[in-house]
Structure formats: C-alpha cells, structure tokens
Amino acid sequence: MGFIEARELFSGHYLLLAFLASLGAIQLAAARATLTGLWIAGNRVAVRFLGVALLTAGIALYYLMPLWIPGPWGSVDSAVSDRPWTVAELEDLSAARNVNDTRGGLSGNTQAILLLAGFTLAFATSAGAGALVNRSRRRPDEARHATSGIGALRHGNIVDASSVSWRLLTSELHRSDARAGKGTSSDRRRRP
Amino acid sequence: MILDEAVFRVLNGLAGEVAALDHLVRLVSGDHLVPLLSVLTLVWLWFAGSDEPERALFQRTALAGVAALGLSSLAADVIATLVGRARPFTVLGGVELLFYPPTDPSFPSHPVTVVVAVGAAVWMGHRGLGTVIVWGGVVMGIARVMAGVFWPTDVVAAILLGLAIGATSSLLLRLLEPVPNLMTRAFLGTPLPTRGRAGR
C-alpha cells in the first residue's frame, strides 16, 4: 500500500471526525443559544446530551479505528518506506495517528479543507434535521421578522432565517447606497 | 543554546521512562487533537451567543480566530523557511523519539504558534475558553519537546508569536471593515458592533 492509499484512508477518517465533532459542537452551541432551527432533537437536554455524545464519539472513533482497520499506523520508524498495513496494537494506539504528511498523513492545509467540509456537512445536517424536528413548532411572525442572522433560528428553520437575513442585508445595502447617492448629489449642489 | 540543550535533555529524558506519560505525550503532541479542539471552539462561538450583543461579540471573536489561524500559519512558515533551524534529533545524539521525525525546519513550532494564536484571539472575546486553548498550545509544545522534535526555544518563540498575532487579529478585522461585517452577515452572522463587549 502506498502514499495515495494512506492519504485516502486518513482523509476519510479525518472527514468523519470533523463531521461528528462539528455536529457535536453545533448542537452544544444551539442548545445554549436556544437555536431550535438547528436542534436535532426535540428538547434542550436531549440536544445537549447528543452534542456531548457526538463530540466524544467522533474523537474516540478516530483514535480507536486503527484497532480494527489496517493502516500505516504510527511512524516513529518512518525510515521504513514499504511497511505492510496492519491493525494497531492497544499499546501502540496513542502513536497510531502520528503519521508524517510525507508518508500519507495529513498536512495542515489538507486538515483545514477537510475541517471545512466536515463543518459544512454538519451544519447542513443540523439545519435539515432542525427543519424536520421542529416543523410543528409554532413561530410568532413578528419574532421571525424582528431577528436576523443566527438569531432567526430561534424562531424558524434555516430557510426562514436565510430569507430574513438576506432581505434585511440587501435592504440595508440599498439604503446605504441611496444615502451615499443622496450625499453625493447634495454635495454637488453645494459646490459653486 | 547551552540552556536550550539542557532543558531539552531534561524534558526528553522523561520520554521512555513511564509508559502512561509516553502515551499522553503522543496523544497531546499529535497533529490532530489539540488543533481540532481549538477550531471546534470557533465553531461553537459562531452559534453560542444567547442574545444579540453576545452573539455579535462571539461571532467577531470567531472571525478573529480564523484570521489568527491563517496569519499565524503563514508567519510560522515564513520564519521557519528564513531561519531553517535543524531539529534536535538531527543534531544531538541519544534523543528518544516519541513522534515521527518531521522533515521541515524546527523554529518556531508551527502547531504551537497556530493554537496559541487562536487561543489569544478567542481570549479577546471569551476569557475562559481563550485561556484553555492557550494552555492547550503550551502543553502541546512541552509534549513535543518531550517527544524529541522541538527545541524549547522553538516553543517559547511560538508562544510569543502566537500571542502577538492572536491579540492583533481583532484589530486587523476592524481595519478591514466593512468587509468582515458583510462577510459575517452573508453567512447568517449578526451585525458586528464597532466596539466589542468586554470578554468573559
């Protein structure tokens, strides 16, 4: 097994870690801020519990997977170029994920891309599940329209929140454009 | 340099002595755990504000954290290329390696710079979380010295560089206004105040 296979294996595992851990972090934050539009369960206690469980499970799974999935685990002896892939022994588990990016491990840039992908998937999952779980929740119209940004997820789902935020943002931009235009014309009028 | 080597010898001398400590060092010094937890803090901050002022403060802090992450990574790369310091295990004999032998230059410690910079940026908006992340970076740095892949001065320089970049990243965001504000709003962010509330 070569560099490409090792990189693919690490990338898949890291993406799973990024997804589960991001989902956990989003759920913990959504429980704190009462963002029901992102809740993947019906009440705050369950959301908080799921947040902790997902975060812990993501990290635990990532570090335990070498026990049953063969790979180029641990590489203090990375001078050995063509090591056969094996599962890690329990006593070597702490070193299993320490593989140099020159030998199929993940570079900082690759980690950043996978983290972003994992976060995007986690946010989409939260927003989709939130819309389903809370579809019966009654939302006061005035509350939905008074709040923009993430805060709108307290009263509605992602579609409501996005449309309100974009409407407010674009109307503000138009207003500021109009003000700028007006200012320019009055400046022009004042000039001799 | 003599002091640097002496401290390195003391810390690296602990490697291989106690199995449980070796496992802890391997986990903490790894490329994934501490950096991931610091980035997850930024994710949490983006969503966790319970009212509008707190949300705006937290989102500005998260944005400053992202800026600190990018800037610190760039700065560490540039300095490492310019200085080109060799790793301790390539210079000294009898080094106990608990980590893979990295092939890039040693000074300053890249992962410690990034984690501390994110922590310092977070500290500007949330004192508790920021402190935890900065200490996470410090512990990661000590673990990497114990693992035999960094000199102590690599870690000290990384901490100082990270603190400086993290502390100035929110200032940089203010200089770039209104771009950060519009970016934040476009991604469901809350309008950013011109002055942030004091951190907690």
A41-80: pLDDT as tens digits: 989 999 999 999 999 999 999 999 999 999 888 765 554 4
Which two tokens mark B127?
């004192």
Sign of the C-alpha dihedral, residues A99, A104, A109, A114?
negative
Q: Which chain A residues have a beta carbon less than 8 Å from that of B76?
A: none
Out of B45, B100, B191, closest to residue A78 by CB: B100
Closest chain A residue to the Cα of B53, Cα to Cα: A151
Residue B44: other Cβ atoms inside 10 A: 24
Mean pLDDT of all residues in B162-189? 82
Out of B50, B103, B185, closest to residue A149 by CB: B185
B69-114: pLDDT as tens digits: 999 999 999 999 999 999 999 999 889 999 989 989 999 999 999 9
Nearest to B88 by CA among B19, B13, B158, B163: B13
Q: Is residue A75 a contact partner of residue A52, using CB atoms and an 8 Å limit? A: no
Closest chain B residue to the Cα of A19, Cα to Cα: B40
Mean pLDDT of all residues in A96-105? 85
Residue A151: other Cβ atoms inside 10 A: 24
Beta strand spans in B20-131 (E)? none
Give how far the C-alpha of residue B92 lies from the chain's centroid of Cα atoms, to the nearest Å: 27
Distance CA B123, CA B102 (A): 30
Question: Do A29 and B47 make contact, defined as CB atoms within 8 angstroms?
Answer: yes
Residue A171: pLDDT over 50 = yes
Report the Cα–Cα distance between both ends of chain B, in Å, rounded.
Answer: 40
Residue B141: pLDDT over 90 = yes
Which two tokens mark B6?
């002496």
Helices A3-33 and A44-64, axial angle in degrees (round to 10): 160
Give how far the C-alpha of residue B34 lies from the chain's centroid of Cα atoms, to the nearest Å: 9
Out of A100, A148, A151, closest to residue B102 by CB: A100
Phi then psi for residue A51, to 5 deg, are -60, -50
Question: Do A29 and B43 make contact, defined as CB atoms within 8 angstroms?
Answer: yes
Question: Do A21 and B186 make contact, defined as CB atoms within 8 angstroms?
Answer: no
